[in-house]
Chains A and B, each alone.
Chain A
Amino acid sequence: MSTPIIHMENIKKHYGNVIALNGVTFDVRAGECHCLLGDNGAGKSTFIKTMSGVHKPTEGSITFEGKALSFNSPRDAMEAGIATVFQDLAMIPLMSVTRNFFMGREPTKGRGLLKRFDIDTANEITMTEMRKMGINLRGPDQAVGTLSGGERQTVAIARAVHFGAKVLILDEPTSALGVRQTANVLATINRVRAQGVGVVFISHNVRHAMAVGDRFTVLNRGQTLGTATRGDINAAQLQDLMAGGQEMAELEGSLGGTI
């Protein structure tokens, strides 16, 4: 495969005397889905916040499209082409899909005092983009609150892709969804990947990760335990790595191997 779009080398992040990340190496290539797996508290959130420009790493280097880079704000990262879809989705239920889609980045027409929100263009783009993702809206003025969780996730992903994301970070997109909606979101990830976007899929659900992932990196106690390619590793091994091996084996014994 091609060279990575973004490469993060030996990232460390300390909060006072707490070491949240202690040497994480991670990269994403165009058109792949790289899964970042880890249990709660493993440092997944801190890591993606570093990647999306919310935090600056204490140590380590970020290379974006071959150049060393440091983001000062989430806006910098967004402009470079790193879009993050957080769990809260940054969606406002009372607003229409169109208004949400273009929130903060409204297309305008006219000049000076007559500069205005080009609502027709915005509506049209929203409808087309949503259709591409397989969602038929009743109308572009439909409130986001009427959409299901999976559909909202898809709107958020479509929005990020429309605004030119090269790297799309998805923070546990399937954690609160039902079976069918999870399938929809995984299908969306598949579509986005096919368009050449590098997807970072954060999850603690191994089965969801196995369904779409090309590569898997496991994070445990602030460190990467290595990266595996699809086919080199199975679900049980991933699960073991995530939980730190040993304790999981004990737990699994007592639960009769059901996890």
Chain B
Amino acid sequence: MPTDTLTRADERIKSESVVAKLMKRPELGAIGGVVLVTIFFMITADHTMFTLSGVMNFMTPAAQLGILGIAAALLMIGGEFDLSIGSMVAFAGMIFGVFVVNVGMPLIIAIPLTLGIAAALGATNGMVVLRTGLPSFIVTLAGLFVLRGAALVGLKLFTGGSTQLRGIREAVEGDFLAPIFSGDAFGFLMRWLAEAGIVDSFKSGVPKVPGIPVEIIWFVAFAAIATYVLLRTPIGNWIFATGGDSLAAENSGVPVRRVKISLFMLTAMAAALVAIITVIDAGSTDARRGFMKEFEAIIAAVIGGCLLTGGYGSAIGAFFGAIIFGMVTIGLTYTRFDQDWFQVFLGAMLLLAVIFNNVIRRRVTGER
């Protein structure tokens, strides 16, 4: 290169427009999707969908899926899959139920223990993947069946033959940790807003929305922390590097093995957290809990801009991906469409997202 380029800007570099820059953000597709889906339901759905209680209605399932989706997104950026998270929800729900009902543990012991066991199983997944060099797809597919089966066997063992374990709500009632993992948060705020006439209330003065379901708080907090870690910490850089090219990352001093195992542990723990929240909420757990959630979580991550090959994606994208999900599942009940269109929508959305992501990737890397 001639030395005069030191001072002279390269004439072949065109300045980029804002639009072109935006096009390179991985979460663009998901945000666009949220806008489109919102417009669709604005037109077709009953107006109650977008009242505060309607929003809470679709945000609750979105949050439950989103906690899994964000973890799945981080793992996917790190270059791996975990197909066992749905079964992990059932398994963690089972052991959590046994801990609080059969053993009678307080939440302060039962919750860390459940999360710890899930983390250990996640680490095992990661270790097997790293040790054998097999694709995580196949290793965790085994986990999908093993954990689902173990959840079923465990339930029957501890309930004396039933596939459902009841009495969880009664067991955790009055526990000082229960409000963090169940029910609604910011009830005082809602009451205050109702008194001020800002939100709708019943005639008695009780607000129609008693509070924000805790899973939504967890979901938003998790999305914020995951995005911060991914974009603004060295660990985030390591996750991108590990998924982009693990050999190159290793040669540059990135602790690839530690990153991958930690991510597997995180996804397993996210599944356990969802299990704890939903099990306390329902008051019981059964073997079908979390069924198909592994695929829905991966779809949320892909809609959020994650590449299946790793090294690219975003947590905030998965956040919006999960919201799209919640809006469509619940939103269809507000319309006159058959609810089962949901599955059709799901498949179409996935395909679109993958094609879209591929185009974005080419733009980013400048391939043509």
* A interface, CB within 8 angstroms of B: 74-75, 78, 86, 88-95, 99, 102-106, 108, 115-117, 119, 131, 134-136, 138, 143, 145-146, 184, 187
Q: Check B146 for interface membership: any CB of A closer than 8 A.
A: no
Q: Decide if A95 touches B240 in the complex (CB within 8 Å).
A: yes
Report B13 CB to chain A, min CB distance, Å. Answer: 5
Q: Check B236 for interface membership: any CB of A closer than 8 A.
A: yes
* A136 CB contacts on chain B under 8 angstroms: 5, 9-10, 13
Q: Decide if A108 touches B234 in the complex (CB within 8 Å).
A: yes
* B interface, CB within 8 angstroms of A: 1-3, 5-6, 9-10, 13, 16, 228, 232-234, 236-238, 240-241, 244-245, 247-249, 251-254, 307, 311-312, 361, 364-367
19 contacts between A and B (CB under 8 A): A90-B248, A90-B249, A90-B251, A91-B245, A92-B240, A92-B245, A94-B312, A94-B361, A95-B244, A99-B241, A103-B241, A103-B248, A103-B249, A103-B254, A104-B241, A106-B234, A117-B237, A145-B364, A187-B1
Cα(A91)–Cα(B307), bound, Å: 18
* A88 CB contacts on chain B under 8 angstroms: 247-248
Q: Decide if B244 touches A93 in the complex (CB within 8 Å).
A: yes
For the residues of A in contact with B, the DSSP-based class is loop
Asked if A145 meets B366 with Cβ closer than 8 Å, knowing A90-B252, A92-B245, the reply is yes
Asked if A145 meets B365 with Cβ closer than 8 Å, knowing A117-B236, A134-B5, A184-B1, the reply is yes
Asked if A75 meets B1 with Cβ closer than 8 Å, knowing A95-B244, A143-B366, the reply is no
Q: Which 9 A-B pairs have the closest CB atoms?
A: A145-B365, A146-B366, A104-B253, A92-B244, A106-B234, A90-B248, A104-B252, A134-B1, A104-B254
Q: Which residue of chain A has the shortest Cβ distance to B244 in the bound complex?
A: A92
* B247 CB contacts on chain A under 8 angstroms: 88, 90
* B364 CB contacts on chain A under 8 angstroms: 94, 143, 145-146
Beyond A108-B234, A136-B9, 6 additional contacts (C-beta under 8 Å) are A90-B252, A93-B365, A94-B311, A95-B240, A105-B253, A134-B2
Cα(A116)–Cα(B231), bound, Å: 9
Q: Which residue of chain A has the shortest Cβ distance to B13 in the bound complex?
A: A138
Q: Which residue of chain B has the shortest Cβ distance to A181 in the bound complex?
A: B1
Report B314 CB to chain A, min CB distance, Å. Answer: 13
Cα(A75)–Cα(B250), bound, Å: 10
Report B107 CB to chain A, min CB distance, Å. Answer: 25
Report A68 CB to chain B, min CB distance, Å. Answer: 25
* A146 CB contacts on chain B under 8 angstroms: 364-366
Cα(A134)–Cα(B233), bound, Å: 29
Q: Which residue of chain B has the shortest Cβ distance to A75 in the bound complex?
A: B253
Give the contacting residue for A91; candidates B10, B240, B248; CB below 8 A. Answer: B248
* A138 CB contacts on chain B under 8 angstroms: 13, 16
* A104 CB contacts on chain B under 8 angstroms: 238, 241, 249, 252-254
Cα(A258)–Cα(B201), bound, Å: 91
Q: Decide if A106 touches B365 in the complex (CB within 8 Å).
A: no
* A145 CB contacts on chain B under 8 angstroms: 364-367
Report A18 CB to chain B, min CB distance, Å. Answer: 24
* B3 CB contacts on chain A under 8 angstroms: 134
Cα(A215)–Cα(B254), bound, Å: 35
Cα(A105)–Cα(B245), bound, Å: 16
Q: Decide if A102 touches B237 in the complex (CB within 8 Å).
A: yes
Asked if A89 meets B248 with Cβ closer than 8 Å, knowing A117-B234, A131-B6, A134-B1, the reply is yes
Q: Which residue of chain B has the shortest Cβ distance to A74 in the bound complex?
A: B251
Q: Which residue of chain A has the shortest Cβ distance to B311 in the bound complex?
A: A94
Q: Decide if B241 touches A116 in the complex (CB within 8 Å).
A: no
